[in-house]
Every structure is written in C-alpha cells, then in structure tokens.
Structure 1
C-alpha cells in the first residue's frame, strides 16, 4: 500500500511541472502538443481516413450477434513530427462482462489498423512540424 501511495504522489507531483497553458505536454524525451496552429492530417483528408478505417477495422461478430452497443469509442495517439503514429490508446464506456471479450478484440483491431496507417502530414507550430496528441472518434455502424 505504501508503494502505491508513494507512486501516486510522485505521479501527482510531476503534473505540476507541466505548463499551465495546456498547449503541450512533456513525454519521455519529446515535446508533444495538444493545441497546434495546424492539425495533423491523414493523407487524402477526412474522406480517405474514413475509407481507411472502414476497410481496416472489423466489428467482432460476437458483439454483432448480441447487438451490443459499444457507445462512444475514441482512439488517442501521437502523430510525430515525421508523421508517424505511435502510443495508441483506446477509450470506451465500461461494458458488462459478456461484452468485454468482444470489445477487447475490437480494440485490438483498432490499434492494429492505426499503427499500420501511412504517415500523416504532421501538425505545425510556427510553420515547423511538431508531435501532436490526436483524438480520433470512431463511429460504429453495424449495417
């Protein structure tokens, strides 16, 4: 228990080191922005991104058979200054135990598809490419 409390306090202490503007955050050795002058863009724009996701993400049949509503799903990742994508995380609403396995499979396919994306046009600040935290809402259409 003491270890957990100490680790929690250390984590809480580091948040005070981040700038209060919310414009960027510091990761291991790289500055990653949350607000930029020009957002990162998938090659071909939003329509191409939608096509890519539709072709590469499959909704698990176990969830489809149960007509399970996943609720809002979002992929959060970093688009690096060279346009590569990494540190993919998925956020969803909590699901009951029956749907968890299917949802884990779904999240795995989302992560794999995003990690295999072609390079994006990176975000920019003052005309220079920068790494950006990006949140991508994923719409589930079971038709």
Structure 2
C-alpha cells in the first residue's frame, strides 16, 4: 500500500504591511478579521499543525487506488477570539461522477479533523484577541 503524505501549506499574513480588515460574521455580532496585526497560531506552530493534520486526515482508498489528483483543496474557517475553530468549509476543483463519493469522504474527513483541533492562539488587533477568517491550503502528495 502506498504511504500517503499530506503537506499542509499555511497562509501566514505579513505583519505591518496590511491594515486590519474586518467583516461581520453571519448570525453573530462580532467582527471577523481577514487580516490581523497578529495572525492566529496553532499550538506548537506550523510544524505541529502539519503533523496534526497528517495524523487526522485520511485519504480515501478509493481515490488512492485510482491515483486521483485532488487538485487544490482549501479549508476555510474562523478562529474565534477564544481560539476555537468554527464555520469550517472545504473547497476543491469541480468533481466528476466517478470520484464524487471519494472526494466527499475526503472533504468530510478534513472538516472533522479541523473541527476537533485544539484551541489556537487567537489573532490580535491593538493587543486584543479578535476572530480571524483563516484559509488553509492542503496539498496531497502520494508517496
């Protein structure tokens, strides 16, 4: 059986180059920033995040057997000012009928792993914790 390695590429905002930008989250009265002065951080940093996702996201055998190229996959979610992850969404390239079930299983696994993440160090603006919209590109590498 082939070993499957997930390589996680984290989007890291550049501090000081952007003015913090916010929007109001649907159904909530708290602003959600797209860029914060201090970006949220997974406990242990990017290396720990990559390890966590590699251990918790399983690539479906149906896609592995077909050597299916998932193309770009991104998880988008909000990290609350308390560090809790919520509102997880996963996007991918358009699916054909043959791989739709396997990709849906894969996307469900990604959502489940992200929802179970430990609390992050929240983002900050003016020294205060804020909710931040976060995009996490996920690259699947077959090895």
TM range (shorter): 0.7 to 0.9
CA distance in 1, matches of 2:141, 2:61: 13
1:31-110 to structure 2, matched below 5 A, reads: 31-110=31-110
- In the alignment, which residue of structure 2 is the partner of 1:9? none
Structure 1: gaps spanning 5 or more residues: 1-20
Q: Which has the higher contact order (CA 8 A, sep 6+)?
A: 2
Secondary structure of the residue aligned to 1:137 is strand
Secondary structure of the residue aligned to 1:102 is helix
TM-score by length of 1: 0.83
Which of the two has higher C-alpha Rg?
Answer: 1
Structure 2: gaps spanning 5 or more residues: 1-18
- In the alignment, which residue of structure 1 is the partner of 2:23? 25
Aligned positions, number: 123
RMSD: 1.2
Instruction: Detail structure 1 runs of 4+ shifted over 3 Å in the superposition.
Output: none
